[in-house]
A and B are shown apart, each in its own frame.
Chain A
Amino acid sequence: MDQPATSELGAGAPTAAHGVARVDVRAVNKKEHRSAYQKRLKIFPKKARGGFRRLKWGIMALTLSAYYLAPWLRWDRGPSAPDQAILLDIPARRFYFFFIEIWPQEIYYLTGLLILAAFGLFLATSLFGRVWCGYTCPQTVWTDLFIAVERMVEGDRGARMRLDKAPWSATKIGKRVVKHGIWLIIAMMTGGAWVFYFADAPSLLGELVTLQAPPIAYIAIGVLTFTTYILGGLAREQVCIYMCPWPRIQAAMVDVDSMIVTYRGYRGEPRGPHRKGEPWEGRGDCIDCNNCVAVCPTGIDIRDGSQLECINCGLCVDACNDVMDRIHRPRGLIAYDTFANVERRASGKSARVKLLRARPLIYAGSMVAVAAVMVFGLSTRATLDVNVLRDRNPLFVTLSDGSIRNGYTVKIINKQHERRTYRLTVEGLPGHRVRVVGRDGAGAPMLPVPADRLASYRVLVSAPVDVLKGQSTPIVFLLTDTAGGTRVSYDAVFRGPGG
């Protein structure tokens, strides 16, 4: 099952039409071509030119800048918290995202973000197919970047194929060294940027340069350098086709009204080479030049229809439009289109774009609902939290005057960026006394908690035995912020001998 000798390697390539050479290319991932026992066949994507290619460059610039620059954004939170806009502070167990600040017990906000991302993916897929895969997926962005480097060093498709076939020589070694060197530098910068999300970026950069950074930083950079190099440089489309679950799931999101990259067979068939001066009547617009196959980064032929391997990147649209311009036929033989419209056009009806369908509306509605819940949660997020743990051993203590005492551990979380003092009171127990170990004094106990911290106090509550309701008397711990008056309560019980 060798690849056929490609005519690009030699002269005498047949023409598909006047001025358009036929690319002798095999869609290596075409289902019939790919036996289960076959090794990977290399793909040498040809450079495409056009609107979607430019869009891909733009999105690549945008996503890469976001990735590299985001850790350097600053966000003032006062002296007690870091000023990095996006920071996963694992030692301190805090996650900072601009105005959002998450403690470990609030990790459900992260779940909300992930649900939003998932529904966003579903929505985009139901509207425009796998555009996430084609434009914004990190695998696509880095693979695209790595292929661009390869093209810069080794040349376009034909040159790369010749180099690949050529015996080892100084030139070949030189080109390969340069290519892999640049790949490794990009991979290292990818890993290098990653660690800045986990520590103060400017100081970590200083530490990295002076070799003072913690070992885990170097290990993380090493692992990400390795995975970026392997996945983006060497594995490429195999990640999408064999490793990623999304191609298997996406079929559930796409329907007949989703805009996906489509070969309009009703217009293109029957396909075949076209000689100058021949009429276009009675034949399709497809001149079988194979340019759409040559530019495909996943090695398929879009004319076979929608396939698992297609990442909806639109490069074949660019390639085909370019050819259509040259042979003076209308653009859009390959285009973002829906199954329904292709059928309507084939039967002579006018196309109809249906964006407002039940499926995208449900996805969009779910996003709005999750976002609303999150906004509500974030805007009403408590900055004071209390947790009361009653002593289990002993359950209660009898005092010499016959009254009963219970011990509690009161944990107060102060999520504000300044020190606060709270007044502790207990309700539901007539005649009770409250004491806080280590804080003697008259009146209701005043408990200070440092900024952004949790403080733990041991509180002893005693009450006459005759006010208790059996073995377990419900009581309420009430905590009042002395500045501002915010109150939180905690329902607890007071244990006694009962009966």
Chain B
Amino acid sequence: MTDVAGHKETDEITGTETTGHEWDGIKELNTPLPRWWLWTFYACIAWAVVYWIAMPAWPLVSSHTKGVLGYASRAVVDQRLAAARAAQSVFVARINAASLGEIRQDPELLAFAIAGGRSAFAVNCSQCHGRGAAGSPGFANLNDDAWLWGGTLDDIHQTITYGIRSDHEETRVGDMPAFVRDEILTRDQVGDVAEYVLSLSGRSADPAAAGRGAAIFAEQCVACHQEGGVGNREVGAPNLSDSIWLYGGDKATIVETVSNGRGGVMPAWTGRLDPTTIKQLAVYVHSLGGGE
């Protein structure tokens, strides 16, 4: 602080200049910044200027300054991905060369396939089948031991590769007709069939209706679902005598299924995923607990 005559005011005790600010008789000292602090500050400024020149720094209208060192974080990611792929290449080659059964017998390959399958499942399959592959009505639970199209490694592999009712010519195809909509059966007949289907897993509430339904079942349903409703994997016809229901096992849902049919679609993944990934997915799904 300088007064009118240009004299600086100093504090008597410390000999330091004051800022001239005063509160209730207490004056603020104008203590200079510590030298080390100041030099660190200047060094930071110098560092910043060097950084602007060396590294990508300033945004431009449609781009940014690139920096003379040529660093780009995207290139680093690419490098790391390439390094990761190179590190995996030995295993990928072994997965490609091995059969599904061989992968399952080799603990190292099994671990690699399950890890790769898990991440591919999360990206491509979990949208329908759920993060834990527990499914939801219409989308199969892959953890259990009921398989519409078979639960061996090869069955699972084929399902993933070509899909179910997909647009691939090798696709698995099965057709549950819409018995009421297509006027094959009446609503009463469908009610009787539903009672019979319930009785297959020991749950019928109306033995008389179930008896009537048995006759209709023998005529209309046995071709696919087989005697006793045990199902047929050739055409994807589910086992009706077990505890597992893709769309639901209560009477209303069974009536709905028989009346209007079902035709869920699983896309073909060949061409969308590479063969290695599909193999890993098959091993992973098989390992979830229901694999045969």
Contact = CB atoms under 8 A, between A and B. Distances in A.
Interface in A424-466: 435, 437-438, 458, 460
A153 B206 CA distance: 110
A376 interface: no
Contacts of A394: 130, 132-134, 141, 143
Contacts of B144: 397-400, 405
B104 A438 contact: yes
A398 B15 CA distance: 85
A351 to B, nearest CB: 46
Interface of B: 14-16, 104, 107, 110, 130-134, 141, 143-146, 239, 242-244, 287-290
B134 A400 contact: no
A233 interface: no
B289 A405 contact: yes
A402 interface: yes
6 closest residue pairs by CB, A with B: A393-B132, A394-B134, A400-B242, A402-B243, A397-B143, A400-B146
A281 interface: no
A359 B42 CA distance: 52
B145 A399 contact: yes
Interface residues on A, range: 10 to 19
A407 B143 CA distance: 10
Interface string A374-405: 00000000000000000111100111111001
B140 to A, nearest CB: 12
A280 interface: no
Interface string A45-88: 00000000000000000000000000000000000000000000
B244 A398 contact: yes
Given A394-B141, A407-B143, A437 B287 contact: yes
B289 A393 contact: no
Given A438-B104, A438-B107, A438-B110, A397 B14 contact: no
A399 B104 CA distance: 23
Interface SS of A by simple majority: loop
Contact of B239 (A400, A402, A458): A400
Interface SS of B by simple majority: loop
Contact of A460 (B130, B239, B289): B289
A438 B132 contact: no
A438 B107 CA distance: 7
Given A37-B14, A438-B104, A438-B110, A397 B287 contact: no
Contacts of B133: 394
Interface of A: 37, 391-394, 397-402, 405, 407, 435, 437-438, 458, 460
B226 to A, nearest CB: 15
Given A398-B144, A438-B110, A460-B289, A393 B131 contact: yes
Given A400-B145, A438-B287, A393 B242 contact: no
B236 to A, nearest CB: 16
A440 to B, nearest CB: 9
Contacts of A405: 143-144, 289
Contacts of A398: 144, 243-244
Contact of B289 (A392, A400, A407): A407
Contacts of A399: 144-146, 243-244, 290
Contacts of A407: 143, 288-289
B156 to A, nearest CB: 15
Q: Which of A392, A394, A458 has the most CB of B within 10 A?
A: A394
A297 B242 CA distance: 89
A16 to B, nearest CB: 36
Given A37-B14, A391-B132, A438-B110, A397 B289 contact: yes
29 contacts: A37-B14, A37-B15, A37-B16, A392-B132, A393-B130, A393-B131, A393-B134, A394-B130, A394-B132, A394-B134, A394-B141, A394-B143, A397-B134, A397-B141, A397-B143, A397-B144, A397-B289, A398-B144, A398-B243, A400-B239, A400-B242, A400-B243, A400-B244, A405-B143, A407-B289, A437-B287, A437-B289, A438-B104, A438-B287
Nearest to B131: A393
Contact of B242 (A392, A397, A401, A460): A401
Given A394-B134, A397-B290, 14 more contacts: A391-B132, A393-B130, A393-B134, A394-B141, A397-B143, A397-B144, A398-B243, A399-B146, A399-B243, A400-B145, A400-B244, A401-B242, A401-B243, A438-B107
B30 to A, nearest CB: 14
A401 B201 CA distance: 10
B287 A458 contact: yes
Nearest to B287: A437
A249 B287 CA distance: 61
Q: Which of A391, A400, A435 has the most CB of B within 10 A?
A: A400
Contacts of A460: 289
Contacts of B146: 399-400
A393 B289 CA distance: 13
Contacts of B15: 37
A30 to B, nearest CB: 20
Contacts of B287: 437-438, 458
Q: Which of A397, A407, A460 has the most CB of B within 10 A?
A: A397
A435 B286 CA distance: 13
A397 B132 CA distance: 11
